[in-house]
Amino acid sequence: MVLRTFDFGESSTIAVALMRDHGKVRLLAKGARKKNSPYLGRLRTGNLVEVVFYYKEHRGLQLLREVSSESFDMPGRSDFERLCIFQAGLEVIDRATIERESDAGQFMALEAFIVGLPSCPDPWAAFFTLEVQLLKRLGFYPDLTGCSRCGRAAAGASLVVDTASGSVTCVSCCGRGDLKLTEETCEILGRMERAGSQAMTDITLDRAMRRRVGTLLHNLFLHHIDGYRLPYALRLLKEDEAQ
C-alpha cells in the first residue's frame, strides 16, 4: 500500500509503502518520473501494488525492481469527504508506524479500511475503527471495559479517561481525567475494538458522537506519538465544512 511518495534526484521517486510482510519500507524507484518509465502512474498515494525489490537489511532505502497494480474501488472523486478520510487513514498509519517493524495485523486493519470505506454507511466510523485498531496494536489503547480502581463495569457508569496516562476510572472514583465517556460512547468504541481486521461494520455516528470518539482517539495519538498532528486531509475537510 503506497502511503506517500516524494521526488528524489532528477527523475526518481521514493515511495513509502506499508507491506503485508515487511512493515513500512522506503522504496527507491529509479527514473520513475521519466516519460517511458514502467513505474509511471503506479506509485501513487493510495495505490495497492505488488512489488519486487532488492532487500538489504541495513539500508534505509530499498531498490525497487518491478511494480504491478492491484485494483480496488477507491472512493470516487465526487465524494470529497470519503476521499479525505481515505487520505487521513494513510497519514495516520504513516505517522504511527516505525520503519521495518513488520506487523501483519496492522496491514490487515489498513486493508479492511480501504476495502470497506467506499461502501460503508459512515466513513468516520471506518476511520475511527482503523485508529482504534492501530492504537491497540501499538499498546496505547486504554481498557474501557470498566473502572481501573473500583472495578465497576462500563455499563451503567460514566468513565473518565486521562489520555496522558491512559488511566480509566468511573465518575464516582473520579481520578485525574480530561475526557468523560458515556456508556453509549464506550459501547461504540467496544464495537470498533472488536471489529478486528474484519471488513467494515455498519456503525454510524451522529455529529456529537463523532466528536466525542474523534477527540478521544486524537488525544491518545497526540500523547503517545512524537510529533503527531491532525492529518492534513482532515484539516482540509474542516476548512471545506466551514465554508
Q: Name which of 96 and 147 has its Cβ closer to Zn ion.
A: 147
Contact between 170 and Zn ion per CB under 5 A: yes
By CB under 5 A, how many residues form the interface with Zn ion? 6
**Would you state the cell numbers that stand for residue 50, as one nine-digit string?**
505488488
155 forms part of the interface with Zn ion (CB under 5 A): no
Q: Which is nearer to Zn ion, 84 or 147 (CB)?
A: 147
DSSP 8-state secondary structure symbol assigned to residue 75? P
For residue 150, state whether it binds Zn ion (rule: CB under 5 A). yes
Out of 173, 222, 225, 236, name the contact with Zn ion by CB under 5 A: 173
**In the complex with Zn ion, which residue's Cβ is closer, 149 or 224?**
149
- Inter-residue contact 148 to 169 (CB < 8 Å): yes
Nearest to Zn ion of 75, 146 (CB atom):
146
Asked if 161 is part of the footprint of Zn ion (rule: CB under 5 A), the reply reads no
Question: How far apart are CB 174 and Zn ion at their closest, in Å?
Answer: 8
Please name the helix (run of DSSP H) or strand (run of DSSP E) that holds residue 213, with its range, or none.
Answer: helix 207-224
Q: Does 179 bind Zn ion (CB under 5 A)?
A: no
Least spacing, CB of residue 148 vs Zn ion, in Å = 8
Q: Take residue 70 and report the three cell numbers written for it.
A: 492491484
Pick from 33, 136, 149, 223: which binds Zn ion (CB under 5 A)?
149
Q: Which is nearer to Zn ion, 156 or 227 (CB)?
A: 156
- Asked if 168 and 161 count as a contact pair (C-beta separation under 8 A), the reply is yes
d(CA 180, CA 159): 6
Helix (H) or strand (E) holding 224: helix 207-224
DSSP 117: T
Stretch that binds Zn ion, among 89-97, 105-113, 124-132, 173-181 (CB under 5 A): 173-181
Q: What are phi and psi of 188, to 5 degrees?
A: -60, -45
In the complex, minimum distance from the CB of residue 170 to Zn ion, in angstroms, rounded to a whole number: 3
Quick count: other Cβ atoms within 10 Å of Cβ 234? 19
Using the contact rule CB under 5 A, the part of the chain among 103-111, 168-176, 191-199, 233-241 near Zn ion is 168-176
- Per CB under 5 A, 160 contacts Zn ion: no
> Does residue 171 touch Zn ion according to CB under 5 A?
no
When asked if residue 85 is in the footprint of Zn ion (CB under 5 A), the reply is no
- CA 20 – CA 51 distance, rounded (Å): 11
Q: Which residue(s) pair with 64 in the sheet?
A: 53
138 Cβ neighbours under 8 A, 6+ residues apart: 96, 224
Q: Which residues in this chain contact Zn ion in the complex, by CB under 5 A? A: 147, 149-150, 152, 170, 173
